[in-house]
Protein backbone atom coordinates (compact mmCIF):
# COMPACT_ATOMS: atom_id res chain seq x y z
CA UNK A 1 0.00 0.00 0.00
CA UNK A 2 2.87 2.35 0.85
CA UNK A 3 4.42 1.73 -2.57
CA UNK A 4 1.17 2.56 -4.35
CA UNK A 5 0.97 5.79 -2.33
CA UNK A 6 4.52 6.61 -3.47
CA UNK A 7 3.57 6.02 -7.10
CA UNK A 8 0.41 8.12 -6.81
CA UNK A 9 2.37 10.94 -5.17
CA UNK A 10 4.94 10.78 -7.95
CA UNK A 11 2.19 10.88 -10.57
CA UNK A 12 0.54 13.88 -8.96
CA UNK A 13 3.84 15.75 -8.81
CA UNK A 14 4.69 14.99 -12.40
CA UNK A 15 1.27 15.88 -13.73
CA UNK A 16 1.49 19.22 -11.91
CA UNK A 17 4.84 19.89 -13.65
CA UNK A 18 5.02 21.28 -17.19
CA UNK A 19 4.03 18.75 -19.83
CA UNK A 20 6.85 16.46 -20.97
CA UNK A 21 6.98 14.78 -24.35
CA UNK A 22 5.34 11.40 -24.16
CA UNK A 23 7.53 8.67 -25.62
CA UNK A 24 5.32 5.67 -24.83
CA UNK A 25 2.29 5.41 -27.08
CA UNK A 26 1.67 1.68 -27.47
CA UNK A 27 2.29 -1.59 -25.65
CA UNK A 28 5.44 -2.48 -27.60
CA UNK A 29 7.21 0.80 -26.86
CA UNK A 30 5.96 0.69 -23.28
CA UNK A 31 7.52 -2.71 -22.63
CA UNK A 32 10.71 -1.57 -24.36
CA UNK A 33 10.82 1.52 -22.11
CA UNK A 34 10.43 -0.72 -19.05
CA UNK A 35 13.33 -2.89 -20.23
CA UNK A 36 15.45 0.22 -20.84
CA UNK A 37 14.72 1.42 -17.30
CA UNK A 38 15.68 -1.99 -15.93
CA UNK A 39 18.94 -1.74 -17.90
CA UNK A 40 19.65 1.71 -16.46
CA UNK A 41 19.21 0.19 -13.02
CA UNK A 42 22.31 -1.97 -13.53
CA UNK A 43 24.56 1.06 -14.06
CA UNK A 44 23.05 3.27 -11.37
CA UNK A 45 25.17 4.36 -8.42
CA UNK A 46 22.44 5.26 -5.93
CA UNK A 47 21.54 4.30 -2.37
CA UNK A 48 19.71 1.05 -1.70
CA UNK A 49 16.53 2.81 -0.55
CA UNK A 50 16.39 4.94 -3.70
CA UNK A 51 17.08 1.84 -5.80
CA UNK A 52 14.15 0.06 -4.12
CA UNK A 53 11.86 3.01 -4.85
CA UNK A 54 12.98 3.10 -8.49
CA UNK A 55 12.38 -0.67 -8.73
CA UNK A 56 8.85 -0.17 -7.41
CA UNK A 57 8.15 2.57 -9.96
CA UNK A 58 9.42 0.34 -12.77
CA UNK A 59 7.32 -2.59 -11.55
CA UNK A 60 4.19 -0.43 -11.37
CA UNK A 61 4.91 1.03 -14.81
CA UNK A 62 5.25 -2.47 -16.22
CA UNK A 63 1.83 -3.34 -14.80
CA UNK A 64 0.36 -0.15 -16.28
CA UNK A 65 1.79 -1.15 -19.67
CA UNK A 66 -0.12 -4.42 -19.57
CA UNK A 67 -3.32 -2.51 -18.78
CA UNK A 68 -2.84 -0.03 -21.60
CA UNK A 69 -2.26 2.97 -19.32
CA UNK A 70 0.66 4.23 -21.37
CA UNK A 71 0.53 7.86 -20.24
CA UNK A 72 0.87 6.92 -16.57
CA UNK A 73 3.47 4.23 -17.29
CA UNK A 74 5.53 6.77 -19.23
CA UNK A 75 5.30 9.27 -16.38
CA UNK A 76 6.52 6.72 -13.83
CA UNK A 77 9.32 5.59 -16.14
CA UNK A 78 10.50 9.17 -16.60
CA UNK A 79 10.65 9.54 -12.84
CA UNK A 80 12.49 6.22 -12.42
CA UNK A 81 15.00 7.15 -15.14
CA UNK A 82 15.62 10.45 -13.38
CA UNK A 83 16.30 8.62 -10.13
CA UNK A 84 18.68 6.20 -11.84
CA UNK A 85 20.55 8.76 -13.96
CA UNK A 86 24.28 9.21 -13.47
CA UNK A 87 25.82 12.62 -13.87
- Which pairs count as long-range contacts for 1-6, CB under 8 Å and 24+ apart, including other chains? 3/56, 3/60, 4/60, 6/53, 6/56, 6/57
pTM for the structure as a whole: 0.73
- Structural domain including 42 reads 2-84
pLDDT tens-digit map of 33-87: 999 999 988 888 888 999 999 999 999 999 999 999 999 999 999 999 988 887 6
What is the chain's Cα-based Rg? 12
Q: Is the pLDDT of residue 18 over 50?
A: no
What is residue 40's predicted lDDT score, i.e. its pLDDT?
Answer: 87
What is residue 87's predicted lDDT score, i.e. its pLDDT?
Answer: 62
Number of domains the chain contains = 1
Q: Is the pLDDT of residue 7 over 50?
A: yes
Is the separation of the CB atoms in 65 and 27 below 8 Å? yes
CA distance 6 to 24: 21
Amino acid sequence: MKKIALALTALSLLTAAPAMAQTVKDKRTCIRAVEDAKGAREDAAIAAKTMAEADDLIRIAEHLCTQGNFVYADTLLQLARGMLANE
